[in-house]
Amino acid sequence: MPILITLKVSLLAAALFFCQASFAHFQLVYTEQSIIPKRANVPAKLIFWHPMSNGHAMDMLRPQDVAVIHRGKRTDLTSQLSQTTFSGRHNQAVSWDVSVPIKRSGDYVLVVTPAPYYEESEGIYIQQITKTYLNRNQLPTDWQQVQNLKTEIRPLVKPYNVVVGTSFRGQILSEGKPVPFTEIEVEYLVAKPDMKTGAVGSDASIEMPGGAITIMSDAQGVFSMAIPKAGSWGFAALGSGPDGSYQGKELSQDAVIWIQAHDIN
């Protein structure tokens, strides 16, 4: 009898873990550097993952749209996508590679609109419209601008050189309008993907005692969080988009932004 009880408890604990983990799905758009020193075609990896826990990775369908915006001009990169495999700590999953052309000085906003992902355990679709920022020669040109997405996070702090110990602030928008009192999940990239092998670089992981780090936007859709550690931080505004259904099922259309934090040497 004690063995049966132990087994039931273990199964329940496992079920609870996977249920909680499902809420930490996070679209990663990763480049090795955010500050680009010279003209280059910068490789980027698109991975749907649980980055902070270094957990389960999900298969990505071909993204609906991938583009880079520089000095207000949009360049479509969708046709240049290359399907690949990401090898995480626990499993392998379909991911995508793309090359971002960096030429003139200024900001480059890489925007990924993935195809909705069906999360069977929750019975909903998830679509995380994601932005990350690159810069060449320290010339700010685009980071303060909106990219006219269905939903997005407009940074109120330069997103590629946030100083550790200061606060990152952003505003959640849906079709250009602020989204008040929205739940935002926060992730930290604890183990970087290897750009050549497509495998996670280490077994490091972080499990927060209270579950996912969560903050709320205010009445103007603005949120703030003090950044405690250098590296890549992601913010996902859950259900902030205008589309609430897809193929007859509920859709969580989220806005995601990735930022880079640095220590002052």
Q: Which of left, alpha, beta for 211 (phi over 0: left; psi -120 to 50: alpha)? A: left
Dihedral (CA of 98, 96, 236, 167) sign = negative
Cβ atoms of 262 and 165 within 8 Å: the answer is: no
pLDDT attached to residue 244: 97
Q: Which domain holds residue 175?
A: 2-262
The structure tokens 């739940």 sit at 183
How many distinct structural domains can be found in the chain? 1
Per run of 10 residues, the mean pLDDT along the chain (length 265 residues) is 38 37 77 96 97 95 98 98 96 98 98 97 96 97 97 98 97 98 97 95 91 95 98 98 97 98 91
**β-strand 249-262 against 124-136: which pairing, if any?**
parallel
- The answer to whether residues 225 and 237 touch, using CB atoms and an 8 Å cutoff, is no
d(CA 259, CA 193): 16
Model pTM?
0.90
pLDDT given at position 14: 37
Distance CA 83, CA 85 (A): 7
Query: Helix, strand, or coil here: 119?
Result: strand
What is the model's pLDDT at position 92?
97
**Residue 15 CA to chain centroid, in angstroms?**
25
Tell me what pLDDT residue 265 has: 77
